[in-house]
Amino acid sequence: MIVRYEPWGAWVKLETEPAIVALDRAGVRALGLDGGRAWQAPPRASAPIELHMAVTARCGAGCEGCYLDVRPDGVEPPREVLLRELDAAAAAGVLTVAFGGGEPTTRDDLDLLADAARARGVAPVVTTSGLGLSDARVERLRRFDQVNVSYDGPGDTYASVRGFDASEAAERAIERLAAAGVRVGVNVVLTRSSFPALEGTIARARALGAVEAQLLRYKPAGRAASLDYLARRLSPGQARALGATLRGLAQTHCADGRFHVRVDCALVAFLSADEALARDPAALARFGVFGCEAAGALAAFTVDGRVAPCSFATASDLPALELAAHGDDPTLARWRAHVEAPPEPCASCSLRAICKGGCKVVSAHLDGAHGPDPECPRVQDARGERAA
Amino acid sequence: MKSERTVPPESIRAVRAGHGANCSSIGSVIDTLFATATVGAAVLAAVVAALGREDVRIAGDDAPPAPPPSPAELPPRDEP
């Protein structure tokens, strides 16, 4: 296990179970450990436990809603640069690195980067479109703890999200990776058009060999930060139905414990509309559900080597190589400040400590500032904006 | 470091299950919230058992100094 001390105890990344555990101080002492400097020094902002690292800005897919606006001729940092960034991540105590891009499988040295992360005690995972997945690329992906393939649904559903239908290529990728013994999940972007097809999408992914589905909120960044965003995002009714939808997916697909459904940080705000979940925030906390952790438990390295609060947010001036100083950076501190003292209606929300105010990228896009997530059902109710 | 040890279940503040392989936003397993108490207890038991048997490495500020990069990590790479 890998232990990272925190003022309240420690994060522990297990190696024989796929889990990260938060232990209090008594639990850490039971491991025979003393808490090190984190228990003696004055508390400060902790470094991220998860890092999203753009290893290329190159991608030929051309998805309409690409959150980074990447291109086929995007830059690709040399491996030595990325190795130094991995050194910085390890020194800061990052536990998991998710390689992204661009399309990370365009790098011939992706397997070496995975090995380098692992050698530094950081678990490597990766996201791919699955397009153009050669045998050599499948082989490289075997070095990762998990590979997620972007798969928004079969046929027209996929096309409605990305602007072209490459669903068959994504399906082949899921199948081939699973056959090669790779733990494979799918990333499903939830839009107004993909949400009604979600049950079928999950069933199909599962049949192809995926062991997990990560549901992603559509966010207004990159090419998605356009007027089109308003037509593509989930409708208010769909957002309110998320809790019930998750309950149904869990009953249908997860009862035997071999398939899991994840929600991304930005979707947690929508759970405020689910009476049972909103009534029991302790349950969400116990299962480690994270809302907005931008500049908190999460950070991103941009392809030009700077630290961003998350992959969707504008980067700070902090160089990636100085990640250990993330607690002192003023831009990152501003993101955390909102979480620590949110205005109403977040301040009185039962899910406040989990949700952390919803997605700041959405609030910045729609309201022009960090603030309560304007698509959160509870925020809409407070603003008198309830819609069908 | 390896020894016989028992972490009390009440010391486990949170369990984040799975690997989470998305590169754009941080995700959390949610289906366990709707699972039966038996499933929840099994997850906790597996975690307690792993905490009792796995070797410990320290990360972050208190980690031992990192070794120099292996030559195998460095460019160039010739094969396609």
CATH number at residue A135: 3.20.20.70
Q: CB of B47 within 8 Å of any CB in chain A?
A: yes
Longest dimension (CA), chain A: 57
Query: With 60 as the cut, is the pLDDT of residue B1 above it?
Result: no
Strand residues in chain B grouped as ranges (E): 12-17, 27-29, 57-58
The mean pLDDT values, 10 residues at a time, for chain A of 388 residues are 96 95 98 94 91 94 83 92 97 96 93 96 96 92 97 96 95 97 97 98 98 97 90 97 97 93 97 96 95 96 96 96 95 91 94 96 94 96 76
Residue B77's pLDDT band, with cuts at 50, 70 and 90, is low
A68 & A12 share domain:
no
**Residue that is last in its domain, among A316, A339, A362:** A339
A334 & A294 share domain:
yes
A19 & A152 share domain:
no
Query: With 60 as the cut, is the pLDDT of residue B79 above it?
Result: no
A99 & A182 share domain:
yes
Residue A345: inside a domain: no
Best B11, B26, B44 residue to mutate vs chain A (most A CBs within 10 Å)? B26
- What are the chain A neighbours of B12 within 8 Å (beta carbons)? 21-23, 27
Q: What does pLDDT average to over chain A? A: 95
Strand partners, B58: A3
Distance of residue A248 Cα from the nearest chain B Cα, in angstroms = 9
CA–CA dist A37, A6 (Å, integer): 9
A78 & A102 share domain:
yes
Residue A387: the pLDDT is 54
Partner B, chain A 285-304, Cβ-Cβ below 8 Å: 285-290, 293, 297-298
- As for how many domains chain A has, the answer is 2
**Across the interface, do B75 and A78 touch by the CB < 8 Å criterion?**
yes
Distance of residue A116 Cα from the nearest chain B Cα, in angstroms = 7
Query: Complex ipTM, two decimals?
Result: 0.92
The domain spans of chain B are 23-48
Residue A348: inside a domain: no
- Tens digit of each residue's pLDDT (9 = 90 or more) over B25-53: 999 999 999 987 788 888 899 999 999 99
Residue A370: inside a domain: no
Residue B37 and residue A202 in contact, taking contact as beta carbons nearer than 8 Å: no
Query: With 90 as the cut, is the pLDDT of residue B19 above it?
Result: no
A23 & A154 share domain:
no
Could you give the angle at which helices A79-92 and A110-119 cross, rounded to 10 degrees? 30
A75 & A17 share domain:
no
Q: CB of A258 within 8 Å of any CB in chain B?
A: no
- What are the chain A neighbours of B75 within 8 Å (beta carbons)? 78-80, 109
A19 & A115 share domain:
no
A214 & A255 share domain:
yes
- What are the chain A neighbours of B57 within 8 Å (beta carbons)? 1-3, 121
CA–CA dist A167, A182 (Å, integer): 20
Distance of residue A295 Cα from the nearest chain B Cα, in angstroms = 12
Cα four-point dihedral sign A15, A18, A24, A26 = negative
Best B13, B23, B62 residue to mutate vs chain A (most A CBs within 10 Å)? B23
Residue B80: the pLDDT is 42
Residue B17's pLDDT band, with cuts at 50, 70 and 90, is very high
Residue A204 is encoded by which pair of tokens? 């199909």
By three-state DSSP, how is residue A300 classified? Answer: strand
Residue in A162, A48, A33, A41 with CA at minimum distance from that of residue A95 = A48
Domain membership of residue A108 as a residue range: 45-339
Q: CB of B52 within 8 Å of any CB in chain A?
A: no
pTM of the model: 0.94
Q: CB of B4 within 8 Å of any CB in chain A?
A: no
Strand partners, A72: none
- What are the chain B neighbours of A95 within 8 Å (beta carbons)? 59
Residue A378: inside a domain: no
Identity of the amino acid at A72: P
A12 & A56 share domain:
no
- What are the chain A neighbours of B20 within 8 Å (beta carbons)? 50, 96, 98, 125, 146, 214, 262
Of the partner residues A98, A126, A246, the one whose CB lies closest to the CB of residue B30: A246
Partner B, chain A 86-145, Cβ-Cβ below 8 Å: 87, 90-96, 98-101, 104, 108-109, 112, 115-116, 119-121, 123, 125-127, 136, 144-145
Determine the straight-line distance between the first and last CA of chain B, rounded to whole angstroms. 41
A37 & A64 share domain:
no
**Across the interface, do A96 and B19 touch by the CB < 8 Å criterion?**
yes
Residue A162: inside a domain: yes
- CA angle (A134, A136, A138) in 5-degree steps: 70
A11 & A90 share domain:
no
